[in-house]
Structure 1
Amino acid sequence: MSTPQFMRAVRITGHGGTEVLELTDVPVPAPQAGEVLVQVAAVALNNTDLWTREGAYGLPGDPKATSGWRGPIDFPRIQGADVAGQVVAVGAGVEGRLVGRRVVVDPAIYDSEGPDANPVGLMGSERDGGYAQYVTASAERVHDVTESPLTDDQLATLPTAYGTALGMIERGRLGRGETALVSGASGGVGIALVHIARARGARVVAISSGAKIDAVRAAGAHEVIDRAGDIAGQLRAAAPEGIDVALDVVAGELVGEGLPLLREGGRWVIAGALGGYDVTFDVRRLYLHNAQVIGSAMHTPAHFGLLMDLARRGEVQPVIAATFPLEQAAQAQEELARRGHVGKIVMHP
């Protein structure tokens, strides 16, 4: 298969609104030693796309600073962390048998080798991503899912949302028979948490709102409480014996309200701040009950391997909310920002 010299791509030219998204023709990247070239079949959107574009991550000591996920972004940058596609070329030192295989790319850039390495960068942020017809990736970070029953769209939804969810569940040590609380349950990570926690044999109590409640229940939540009501009261009624593990992408006031509802030795895992990053809670509820508050950023290589095993067996069924062509990246991001959907938004380059 011959690869063209140029490709269509959407990149950000700076921090700002959707006006900084630029549709352009750029050279197809050449895979370097140890890399492969992937023809992108589908790329999923994430909140990280919005926050990277807006520069909304802040800096240590300056939470209101305009910054990317791990500091300054090199512009222009092709966005898009979540890629499913086909390997069409390999760089030096990579086995040619990968060519033609259907793959999912682990978008994390890790701080070291080994299965428990920490993510310190992200494709689409610290290196160019999948808002394009082609993307390069380390051969170690592409996972062969040719035999998976999932569609390309479904596979593309997995890396960030399901990787983040599995990282939270692993770090929170959620076990069979335990009760899990899932906040923000209608979003990409929230639905993933419901799916994986349910597959783990946990009892899932989810927080959602309005018309999305039925969709969250259909995704597998045993109980769904309305975030517009008295959350603590509803939680006490839904889980009178308490919560073992909170899987929280909202934070804000929920942490202070919910921490007293943890059982002895409970774990509160935070991987987002949709409800606000300035958190206050009664620290006595932490140390007197041997509770833990755990930060969780994405996944490790070991977590991602577990996720790909689930994908190959079709044990998760991601929900696709909408699809867009690459040319409508701005509209796709605006749809994501409105948060009116359930599941994931996918683009087709």
Structure 2
Amino acid sequence: MRTDEVHSTRDLMTAIVTTGNGGYDTLVVSEVPTPVPGPGEVLVRVLAAGMNNTEINTRVGWYSDGGWNDATPFPLIQGTDCCGVVCASPGTEESIIGRRALVRSCMRVDGSSSGETRWLGSDMDGAFAQFVVVPASEIFVVDCDWTDAELATIPCAYGTAENMIARAGVRPGSTVLITGASGGVGSAAVQLAVRRGARVIGVASRAKHDQLRELGVDEIYGRDADLVGTLGTRSVDVVIDNVAGDGFGPLLDLLVRGGTYVSSGAIAGPLVELDLRTMYLNDLTLLGCTAWDEDVFPNLVSYIEAGEIRPLLAESFPLEQIAAAQQRFLEKDHVGKFVLVPPVVLDQA
């Protein structure tokens, strides 16, 4: 763990600048001005940055018709997940200088309790760079023996999964079905549901079943399985689904009366068919989860420090190889998260 105090006099830093919607050619390795923190902000030296569907979806313009990120501030430094070292900045609390920390990806706007948020790497420059500036309130020091890359797998995927599980009311004895269980959010949801004492049923490609069993799933099925025929109707308390597409309808048939369906993504397609009778006759709750509740991230940090969850690092790449990393990511033959590592900063002080 790095505990050295960091001072940087560098005027420029290496960053990946996304120039607009488009292909891999919009990901430009650039030398850009090192950001300067303002009042209430801190400078963070990035040690590792996790990679998510979000960055790819933003780059290709997938959200533009869905009510989010239709005004992405290109050119933009993406990167939603940040593990870094807090640098000495004017007004920075002395106790966190030089400490390794995670940055909360989903930031409350001016401490808002209304749900208004800003996302690192989408609404503001993010962690695909050697340095990033963030509000001091979004820094969470973490004491653990994980590597930098392992810590960088946590913020977006685990924050999203914890938010979904908490809102859905998963508790000991709940039966939870998780689609896309091998992905970043899915594999995080498996661990977090198991941590709560739930019975967990996973859905993923068969090549990944053994790894998911190691995470504690009780039952695991392939993506082509007839879940209703196998499990039966009204057999599941909560469905955590970031896949959607054609499989949406049968998932609702699995829910018990009063059950909950929760989603924060739609990998297989955002347009689905819903028979409203299934929803209202069975008193189902359908939850959309994007903005995180306030206690989500502090809780995650406590789970890490208590050894209650573990990282799932699929592969690390140098930051400059982001295009190759995204291509590998889209092959979807991995379990867990990919991480980008920026060039080492050579102190010029």
Q: Structure 1 residue 200: deviation in Å?
A: 0.5
1:24 is aligned, of 26, 30, 47, to 30
Kindly indicate whether the alpha-carbon contact (under 8 Å) linking 1:50 and 1:337 is maintained by their aligned counterparts in 2. Answer: no
Kindly indicate whether the alpha-carbon contact (under 8 Å) linking 1:85 and 1:103 is maintained by their aligned counterparts in 2. Answer: yes
Q: Structure 1 residue 218: deviation in Å?
A: 1.8
CA-to-aligned-CA distance 1:293-318 (integer Å, 9 cap, x gap): 11111522211111111122221101
What is the identity, as a one-letter code, of the residue corresponding to 2:54? T
2:171 is aligned, of 170, 175, 179, to 175
Partners of 2:266 and 2:102 in 1: CA distance? 27
Partners of 2:250 and 2:238 in 1: CA distance? 15
- After superposition, the Cα gap between the structure-2 partners of 1:281 and 1:241, relative to the gap in structure 1 and judged at 3 Å, is closer
Aligned to 1:166: 162
Matches within 5 A, 1:1-349: 1-3=6-8, 4-59=10-65, 63=66, 69-92=68-91, 94-111=92-109, 113=111, 116-118=113-115, 120-145=117-142, 147-236=143-232, 242-349=235-342
Q: Structure 1 residue 112: deviation in Å?
A: 5.4
TM-score, length-normalised on structure 1?
0.92
SS of match in other structure, 1:317 = coil
Partners of 2:234 and 2:320 in 1: CA distance? 50
SS of match in other structure, 1:323 = strand
Partners of 1:185 and 1:231 in 2: CA distance? 15
SS of match in other structure, 1:322 = strand
What is the identity, as a one-letter code, of the residue corresponding to 1:176? P
Partners of 1:271 and 1:89 in 2: CA distance? 36
The answer to which of 279-288 and 182-191 deviates more is: 279-288
Kindly indicate whether the alpha-carbon contact (under 8 Å) linking 2:179 and 2:243 is maintained by their aligned counterparts in 1. Answer: yes
SS of match in other structure, 1:89 = coil
SS of match in other structure, 2:295 = helix
CA-to-aligned-CA distance 1:68-100 (integer Å, 9 cap, x gap): x432122210010100011012233x3222111
CA-to-aligned-CA distance 1:152-177 (integer Å, 9 cap, x gap): 21211111100000010011011111
Kindly indicate whether the alpha-carbon contact (under 8 Å) linking 2:86 and 2:96 is maintained by their aligned counterparts in 1. Answer: yes
TM-score, length-normalised on structure 2?
0.92
CA-to-aligned-CA distance 1:195-216 (integer Å, 9 cap, x gap): 0000000000010112112222
What is the identity, as a one-letter code, of the residue corresponding to 1:9? A
Partners of 1:244 and 1:152 in 2: CA distance? 36
Partners of 2:235 and 2:45 in 1: CA distance? 47
Partners of 2:124 and 2:324 in 1: CA distance? 23
Kindly indicate whether the alpha-carbon contact (under 8 Å) linking 2:234 and 2:257 is maintained by their aligned counterparts in 1. Answer: no
SS of match in other structure, 1:37 = strand
Partners of 1:312 and 1:117 in 2: CA distance? 29
Partners of 1:163 and 1:71 in 2: CA distance? 23
Aligned to 2:346: none
Kindly indicate whether the alpha-carbon contact (under 8 Å) linking 1:149 and 1:314 is maintained by their aligned counterparts in 2. Answer: no
Q: Structure 1 residue 291: deviation in Å?
A: 1.1
What is the identity, as a one-letter code, of the residue corresponding to 2:200? V
Kindly indicate whether the alpha-carbon contact (under 8 Å) linking 1:188 and 1:344 is maintained by their aligned counterparts in 2. Answer: yes
Partners of 1:45 and 1:132 in 2: CA distance? 13
Partners of 1:225 and 1:283 in 2: CA distance? 27
What is the identity, as a one-letter code, of the residue corresponding to 1:341? H
Percent of aligned positions that are identical: 40
| Residues paired across the two proteins, number | 336
Partners of 1:165 and 1:332 in 2: CA distance? 23
Aligned to 2:345: none
Kindly indicate whether the alpha-carbon contact (under 8 Å) linking 1:6 and 1:27 is maintained by their aligned counterparts in 2. Answer: yes
SS of match in other structure, 1:254 = helix
Kindly indicate whether the alpha-carbon contact (under 8 Å) linking 2:206 and 2:221 is maintained by their aligned counterparts in 1. Answer: no
Partners of 2:294 and 2:34 in 1: CA distance? 27
Kindly indicate whether the alpha-carbon contact (under 8 Å) linking 1:119 and 1:299 is maintained by their aligned counterparts in 2. Answer: no
SS of match in other structure, 2:266 = coil
SS of match in other structure, 1:171 = helix
What is the identity, as a one-letter code, of the residue corresponding to 1:95? E
Structure 1: gaps (5+ residues): none
SS of match in other structure, 1:90 = coil
- After superposition, the Cα gap between the structure-2 partners of 1:317 and 1:47, relative to the gap in structure 1 and judged at 3 Å, is same
Q: Structure 1 residue 186: deviation in Å?
A: 0.6
The answer to which of 200-209 and 281-290 deviates more is: 281-290
